[in-house]
Structures are given as structure tokens and as C-alpha cells.
Amino acid sequence: MEEQREWIPFQEIDWADPKNNTFWIDTRDFHTGYGWKDEPHSDFDTLKKYPHFFWTQEDMVELLNSYFTQSGGKDDWRYFSLNGMDNWNLKYIRIARTDLGFIICDRSWRAIKRDILINGVNEDLLHFS
């Protein structure tokens, strides 16, 4: 995939494309930007010691699909958060592809553990347009 100015729906992303290793999902509409970073995650040397931070492509895509569906599917705008997270740190889901798998992060590139990511969508705060 060649880098585009316009973000595309996350379902159209080629997660394995060798030209891209970082992805940014805007959870308001689930459109995605992507690109290449020489160092896809600044804490990789620490994170690689903890397997619960890494996802296979299949598991990650399944998780993203569940987020999209639970939060209302195709829509122009939503306030996306997970149960147990009462702020908007997931306005953008940042994803880094590494040799060990995908790391899913909040909007500040802080890696999120698997047990938090599987908590489900907080449906009380969606605020559809």
C-alpha cells in the first residue's frame, strides 16, 4: 500500500505490507492512516519480554472487528472507550507491527495489555451522531 493523504477504512488495510509497520485508527469513524517508522515502538526492548502485549494479525483483526461492531458499525462519529477506561485515550488506536507480532497502543503510543483490550466496548459513552 502506498501511503495516502486520505485515511481508509480499517477493513482495507494490508497489515502485512512490508512498506508499512505503523497504523493509526481514528475510533470516531474507524478510518486508518499508515506508514513506516524505523523504530515502530520506542519501548519494544522492554515489551518483548512480555508476550501479553503481542497479537497475531488474525487475533488483532478479530479484536478490531469486534470493536467496530460493538460500537455501532459504520457511522460518522462515536466516542470509543473500553470498559474500565473512563477517558478518551482510545480516540486513536495506534498499532505497531514488529517481528514478535502487533502491539496495540493508546493515542500516546502506550502499549495496552491484552486483559484490558478484551474488556469490551463501553456502550454507555458512544454518543452516536
Q: Mean pLDDT lowest for which of 2-6, 17-21, 68-72?
A: 2-6
Q: How confident is the model at residue 71 (pLDDT cuts 50, 70, 90)?
A: confident
The span from the CA of 111 to the CA of 66, in Å, is 19
For position 3, what pLDDT does the model report? 59
pTM: 0.91
Q: How confident is the model at residue 5 (pLDDT cuts 50, 70, 90)?
A: low
Q: How confident is the model at residue 129 (pLDDT cuts 50, 70, 90)?
A: very low
- Is the pLDDT confidence value at 46 over 90? yes
- Domain map (residue ranges) of the chain: 8-125
The span from the CA of 43 to the CA of 59, in Å, is 22
For position 48, what pLDDT does the model report? 96
The secondary structure of 56-71 as a DSSP string is: -HHHHHHHHHHHHHHT
- The answer to whether 112 and 63 have CB atoms below 8 angstroms apart is no
